[in-house]
Amino acid sequence: MSGPIALIDCNNYYVSCERAFDSSLIGVPVIVLSNNDGCAVARSAEAKALGIKMGEPVHLLRDKIRAHGIRVLSSNYTLYGDMQRRVVAACDAFARDFEIYSIDETFLDLTGFENRDLVAHVNAMRAQVRQWTTIPTCVGIGDTKTLAKLGNAAAKKNPMFDGVADLRDDAVRKWVMDRFPVEDVWGIGGATARKLLALGIGNAGALRDMPMKQARAVGTVVLERLVGELRGVPSDAVETIAPQRKGMAVTRSFGTPVGDFHTLFGALTQYAMRAGEKLRLHGLVAGRLTAFFHTNETQTRPAAICRLAYRRAAPYDQRQPGTHRCGEARRVGRLARRLCVHQSRHPARRFDRGGSSPPDTIRGRHGQARPADGRSGRDQHPLWKVRRHNGVAGV
């Protein structure tokens, strides 16, 4: 691809989504928690200024939350997914194509807009996103994805860019790269960063000037391509068609400890139903099914784990579960075995049934409460449901 690439990133995304529907959160410190309200996974600028770190356990923040009146919210992934679609819709008229990189980041192909003032162009896009969603954004522009990602990080951290960093300008690109730590470059892992630092390569500018042969010797062809991208040679275009999924998972930590098989069976049943919905949504069938659960790792008694895996290719009576140390594992395995047989009659490939299945259609019309497997315990508000905080200050 020959045109410039932009990366638009939503600032403090989860918090910004919550503020869009609750104006009382504006201007006050806010944190959004992970599943079961365990850790802070999103922080407003006010919360960051108070020293709250990403991933910090909420039970260590109780004194700070009470002292500063920090608003604490449970995550709402349905809302965040819907707001992502609105952000992408607001950007649609400003780019030829787009690739959704994550829930709060999108690559934009600006081919055809090169003759415009791209800084003014993306500022107009940011204004439209803000008008449609109230979510603030930053944008990085470059000739490659890596440079766009680098520019976005610079735009977010340095106020001098006013939310937009265009790294197509040689002077701006050099200034940013000479000050950008090599360990923070997109695609550089911890092990590779240590190797580069040992060679005296401490920033993105030094990495750009690294000889290609040496880059391949240090980090294989992956690092070689990264060095090329820092030099403006694209190795990866904007993917307008998402690649077919190779796997998917439905995993949640239980809200409270589960001590009986009936409750565990209900949780496994509902998670399996959700996995089936996701498979049908993407037009796929499963070639392998794995069910796993484990005891509380923080308890003093020895931990136990159960993992049951079944492949499509093996005949039914030859399927063997994985190693386990749980007394009730064989009974759970019977459910996993039946599900695997049902979902594995076809190879692991795209499968078009000509529409949604009846259960999915009914749920789409009448909500998620009906229909449901009678063993899932959905009508009993089971104890394994994820805990959710009410959003007031203090925990």
pLDDT in tens, the chain (395 residues): 468 999 999 999 999 999 999 999 999 999 999 877 889 999 999 999 999 999 999 989 999 999 999 999 999 988 999 999 999 999 999 999 999 999 999 999 999 898 899 999 999 999 999 999 999 999 999 999 999 999 999 999 999 999 999 999 999 999 999 999 999 999 898 899 999 999 999 999 999 999 999 999 998 888 999 999 999 888 876 655 556 667 777 777 776 777 777 777 787 888 888 888 888 877 777 777 788 777 766 665 665 666 666 665 544 444 444 444 444 444 444 444 333 333 433 444 444 444 455 566 655 555 555 455 555 555 455 555 655 655 544 45
- State the number of CA atoms in the 13 A half-sphere of 323 facing the CB: 1
Rg of the chain, C-alpha, whole Å: 24
Q: How far apart are CA 232 and CA 202, in angstroms?
A: 20
Structure tokens at 195: 């190797």
391 Ramachandran zone, left/alpha/beta (phi>0; psi -120 to 50): left
Q: How far apart are CA 80 and CA 104, in angstroms?
A: 9
User: What phi and psi, each to the nearest 5 degrees, are found at residue 171?
Assistant: -65, -40
- Give the full edge-to-edge strand order of the sheet including 71-74: 40-43, 30-33, 71-74
Q: What is the pLDDT, as a whole number, of residue 37?
A: 83
Q: How far apart are CA 48 and CA 40, in angstroms?
A: 11
Q: What is the pLDDT, as a whole number, of residue 331?
A: 46
> CB–CB of 104/9 below 8 Å?
yes
Q: What is the pLDDT, as a whole number, of residue 128?
A: 96
Greatest C-alpha distance within the chain: 68
Residue 293: other Cβ atoms inside 10 A: 21
- Helix, strand, or coil (residue 281): helix
Question: How far from 116 is each of 34, 110, 224, 350, CA to CA, in Å?
Answer: 42, 10, 32, 41
Task: Fill in the amino acid letter for 154.
Answer: A
- Helix, strand, or coil (residue 42): strand
DSSP secondary structure letter of residue 111: T
> CB–CB of 162/156 below 8 Å?
no
Of 393, 395, 352, give the one whose Cα is nearest residue 28. 393
For the question of whether the overall pTM of this predicted structure is more than 0.85, the answer is no
- Torsion angle (degrees, nearest 10) of CA 177, 181, 183, 184: -70
> CB–CB of 115/105 below 8 Å?
no
Q: How far apart are CA 88 and CA 226, in angstroms?
A: 27
Q: What is the pLDDT, as a whole number, of residue 311?
A: 61
Task: Tell me the torsion sign for CA atoms 370, 375, 377, 382.
Answer: negative
Residues in the chain: 395
Cis peptide before 29, with omega less than 30 degrees from 0? Answer: no
